[in-house]
Amino acid sequence: MRGAREDLSANVPGRFSPDDWTRILTTARERFETRRAHSNLSELEDWQAVVLDFYRSRYWGYANDYRPPSPPKKKGNLGIRLVWLLFVAFTLTEAGIAWTGQNYAKSGDRGDFLILLLVIAAVVGNILFFLWQYRHHQD
């Protein structure tokens, strides 16, 4: 019974929850002790029979789809992220808007106007993405 957990989980796809493992090991011990009391086989053969029963009966009805909870991700300081977003929006993208706006003003071409609209949409989209990303933020 020392390697019971390894024997019972060797060919199981997925994981069992910690509570299920406690119950599985308790059930395995009970079944093993029952077999030992009513069998003339060796201890190893009785244990093999318990392990085979575990696999043949599809893990005694326990679900093997447990996923441990992931630790909460700590995001950076919201204020710093907002300042960075505004810096990018008001410097780098303003240069893009000014350049494309200047090109459109000089040429009046419809293609330059569409490029200007795309740059403006990118700036607005960036700010909207920031707001969407932190919609559930709590201090």
Q: What is the pLDDT of residues 71-85, one digit of tens each?
A: 887 777 888 888 887
Q: Is 59 helix (H, G, I), strand (E, B) or coil?
A: helix
Domain boundaries, given as residue ranges, for the chain: 4-61, 78-133
- Residues facing 15 on adjacent strands: 65
Nearest to 59 by CA among 30, 21, 33, 3: 21
In the chain, % of residues over pLDDT 70: 99
Q: What angle do CA 43, 48, 53 make, to 5 degrees?
A: 130
Q: What is the pLDDT of residues 23-37, one digit of tens each?
A: 988 999 999 999 888
pTM: 0.50
Neighbours of 25 (CB within 10 A): 14
Q: What angle do CA 18, 22, 15 make, to 5 degrees?
A: 40
